[in-house]
Amino acid sequence: MDQAFNAIDPGRLRNVVQMFWDPLPSNDTTRNLPTWVLGKSYKLGPRAITTTTTTTTATTTISGSDGSSRSTPKPPEKAQEPQQQQPLLEDRQHAQPPAESTTGHHNPSSQEPPKVDTSKNDASDVEPTPPPSTTASTPAATASTAAQNTQQQTDTPPESVTSSFDSTLAYEEIPNCENGGWPPAFLEDLESRIWMTYRSDFELIPKSQDPDATKALSFTMRLKTQFSDQLGFSSDTGWGCMIRTGQCLLANTKLFLTMGRDWRRSQGGEGPLLSQFADDPRAPYSIHNFVRHGSVSCGKYPGEWFGPSATARCIQALANAHEPDLRVYSTGDGPDVYADTFMKMAKGENGEFHPTLILVSTRLGIDKITPVYWEALIAALQMKQSVGIAGGRPSSSLYFLGAQGQNLFYLDPHFTRVRLPYRDHPEEYTEEDIESCHTRRLRRIHVRDLDPSMLIGFLIRDEVDWEDWRKAVKHVQGKQVINVADYDPLVMGEGAIADVETLSDDEDTILDEE
């Protein structure tokens, strides 16, 4: 019996439970860890922290009161967790890497993953007000009040965390309990990212006539093609999630370039971008064109699940064909980026640097991500050049776009919606069309539960951005997930062979003369 229980995979069991019960995650406001979305960090302000830590005392004091008379809340005790973070921060500051690497990153594994707070405390939205005092104006009372304020400021965790990556910390007031205690600006940023999901009822993608095509499909898809999708596929449910997360990565890259990193959904204007990802062969980045290129260049049949490498090659080919101002550099099947080949692609013949999307297809373990990579992987999402990660689950891709502690936030493509139509005039998109490409639904997963195969994306805007990114990936905590070298050994090898051949010719000439 014990052996049977030990054989159960907790991760698989958790996934089954989440199919029926998947509550919204809550933010542990007492710990106040920064929340990250593609290189930007959000954090509750000191007022929210102080109010949260005194909630229990305030609730006890004003129980049964109408709120007109309140007791002064007790200051947080030294044993409370926010007061314990300061020594850890000081220890980490002494252990920083060399000066050139101290412009950024938060060490995610130095703190435990945030605890999910499912309790709702009505007092957390109210800042307790001390009762009026007749002695408040005396010098002694003034000095006492100042000392108490100083003590509270000392006990409050620092507003920024020493990090090896630059970030913009947005401090928020007390969060709405209905939002799980998350900073409102964090949720607005999350909702503003483009979200691509399964679609149905689009123009048929014909089945391949290759006899081996059926063998490449999953068991479920083989059954569907025998009984329902005999001519082709009008939905990508069950096989298109990696393509959809690749679309997420590319769409948000283009969104940053055209609308800016600080664009928010309330500003509107994303119609022209969405039309390029419509579920129609006329759209350059439609699932039809991903499948077409995957079939021609990657050996992927319609209805077959794509991997990170095939998705990267499709993104590169489609972008090169339709984007005059965006270049795509793909590492192939490894984590190595070579400066010489990158600069050659980014600059082109005229020497002018073009914004370039770096796609790193990598595998960071066998069944799970090896723990030595955890910190560097989370740090990748904290870099200002980050445009997200596609992959991360076995044959079930997700789009990761943020982190808190050792948990990653993601957009899930496994929801089937009616096709996104192609519009000749993007302003004709309905609110329903646009809303289907955004979500405020927060989902998170611990880094230990990720599949090690993934596609990591970075947008390099100029040469300064390139140099900053090189330093950032080099000076991460833990083991690097990306390697940057000056020269591509294959290119150097070709040059070395040419030199050897030239030298051999010269030697033969000398011998002939002798």
- Active site members: 241, 412, 414
By the 10 Å C-beta count (0-12 exposed, 13-18 middle, 19+ buried), 272 is classed as: middle
Alpha carbons 269 and 429: distance in angstroms, whole number: 10
**Strand, helix or coil for residue 368:** coil
For 304, which DSSP code?
P
By the 10 Å C-beta count (0-12 exposed, 13-18 middle, 19+ buried), 43 is classed as: buried
Tally of CB atoms within 10 A around 160: 14
**Strand, helix or coil for residue 22:** coil
Sign of CA dihedral 327, 330, 336, 338: negative
Strands 35-37 and 398-404: antiparallel
Alpha carbons 271 and 251: distance in angstroms, whole number: 12
Radius of gyration of the chain (CA): 27
Whether residue 181 contacts residue 423, with contact meaning beta carbons closer than 8 Å, is answered with no
- Per the structure block, which two tokens stand in for 227? 């009984």
- Per the structure block, which two tokens stand in for 239? 């096989």
H or E stretch covering 358: strand 356-363
Nearest to 388 by CA among 225, 224, 248: 248
DSSP 49-73: HHHHHTHHHHHHHSTT--SSS-PPP
Whether residue 263 contacts residue 397, with contact meaning beta carbons closer than 8 Å, is answered with no
Q: Which residue spans within 161-314 are E strands per DSSP?
A: 169-172, 199-200, 205-206, 232-233
Whether residue 296 contacts residue 321, with contact meaning beta carbons closer than 8 Å, is answered with no
Strands 417-418 and 199-200: parallel
φ, ψ for residue 239, nearest 5 deg: -145, -10
The rounded Cα 130 to chain-centroid distance in angstroms is 43
456, β-bridge pairs: 360, 389
Alpha carbons 306 and 262: distance in angstroms, whole number: 32
Q: For the CA atoms of 185, 191, 194, 198, what is the dihedral angle to 10 degrees?
A: 150
**Strand, helix or coil for residue 227:** helix
What type of residue is 55? T
State the first-to-last Cα distance of the chain, in angstroms, to the nearest integer.
86
Alpha carbons 463 and 347: distance in angstroms, whole number: 10
Nearest to 163 by CA among 220, 110, 216: 110
